[in-house]
Structure 1
């Protein structure tokens, strides 16, 4: 199972939100590239980036910060937030991203996801963010009647590289991930599922790994707060 350190970008800084609330953000580093290098130096195999402003604006906002990270870190990097057309997808992948994450458009324009996955095999993931089993879009501000598993299953034949499943109520709350819901989703589809939201301890990571069906986990606040030591976590997952 791969551990993805998270860098959430807001106004050019690395922050963490509480349950997706832009008004409840904590700045952890005003130089996201420095933060990315620290994660890479600790041994991470991937980086997970989110353009928070972009998720609300519907277009990339923190491009300069992403560019700086890509220029200084050579591990594969995935990015979500504000990526809602083919031109933006192609632009980011050309700049060196390993994978783009499509969230809002997966609900509003699923044909774009299919087109992108065909055009860029292995480089398109679907981000499914949910409250109480229902998908939320536009930076989690808009709740839909779409159920998580139904949306995931609709992409079974699309060739997407992964599904990143976030339980919004757990995100940034340091209360542990929603393991039953994440495991159920991973067993319902053949697409690799990455857990996000609330991953805050080594025990959380081990519990996700031990399901045997979850392919990755994203952690943010726990790494910044020191509740989770990245080097130790990576070593434990390797063992």
Structure 2
């Protein structure tokens, strides 16, 4: 399992959001560039950077300081590990911009709801570099920074992209911010079992115990971890060590 330590950016600061609410960010007073290098030094093989300013811009609620493109490009150049870029990528041109800037992968969510053909085209021309984001709230796929509910159930949404050469599917249970971790594990498990695409779980790993349980969900190839690394409920070195351990055989019950 791959651990994706994550930096979420808002006006140049590392932040965490509750259910995506940009009006109530928790600001972490750390240098994003230094934090990215710390992830690499700890042994991470990948990291993710999410640009919340770009999400706001793409949704028509642009903040006063624009996006974090220059900062993210500097992270890509200096982190020392591949970077998966997320946030506000709504067009093929924008996806290509980040891949040409050196991003290892790009994450596309809202555009997959609004223009699925574009995502299929992106995956065709950039195989294994496009990650499909599936953000779920109350049984529906969400878009526009978790603000708008689509008509799609997660299983139907995933099925539409089943044949695409995606790098992975990034599944986020929006309820996980305040909800039941067992229910979140059940959601991820059910969706992971329904697709051939590798699954990355997001928003459900807060402790080593959470990671331990996630390791035994079939077809889960990775976990995005952000807030837990900043509030120190999880140490990256311990998470990486646990993720690298082989899973033990599970007894079959008849």
TM-score surpassing 0.5? yes
TM-score using structure 1 length: 0.95
Contact in 1 for aligned 2:19/2:146 (Cα 8 Å): no
Task: Name the counterpart of 1:232.
Answer: 238
Aligned residue-pair number? 238
Structure 1 residue 230: Cα displacement: 0.5
Task: Name the counterpart of 2:251.
Answer: none
Structure 1 residue 91: Cα displacement: 1.0
Task: Name the counterpart of 1:41.
Answer: 41
Structure 1 residue 41: Cα displacement: 1.2
Task: Name the counterpart of 1:127.
Answer: 133
User: What does 1:1-239 align with in structure 2 at a 5 Å threshold?
Assistant: 1-58=1-58, 61-171=67-177, 173=178, 176=181, 178-239=184-245
1:95-147 CA distances to partner (integer Å, 9 max, x unpaired)? 11000111001000000001100111110010111111211111111122211
Structure number, greater radius of gyration? 2
C-alpha distance in structure 1 between counterparts of 2:218 and 2:225, whole Å: 19
Contact in 1 for aligned 2:37/2:80 (Cα 8 Å): no
Contact in 2 for aligned 1:29/1:35 (Cα 8 Å): no
Structure 1 residue 198: Cα displacement: 2.8
Contact in 2 for aligned 1:176/1:200 (Cα 8 Å): no
C-alpha distance in structure 2 between counterparts of 1:158 and 1:234, whole Å: 29
Structure 1 residue 234: Cα displacement: 0.6
Gaps of 5+ in 2: 60-65, 246-254
C-alpha distance in structure 2 between counterparts of 1:147 and 1:84, whole Å: 21
1:165-190 CA distances to partner (integer Å, 9 max, x unpaired)? 0011214x596471110010000010
TM-score using structure 2 length: 0.89
Q: CA RMSD in A?
A: 1.6
Contact in 2 for aligned 1:13/1:29 (Cα 8 Å): yes
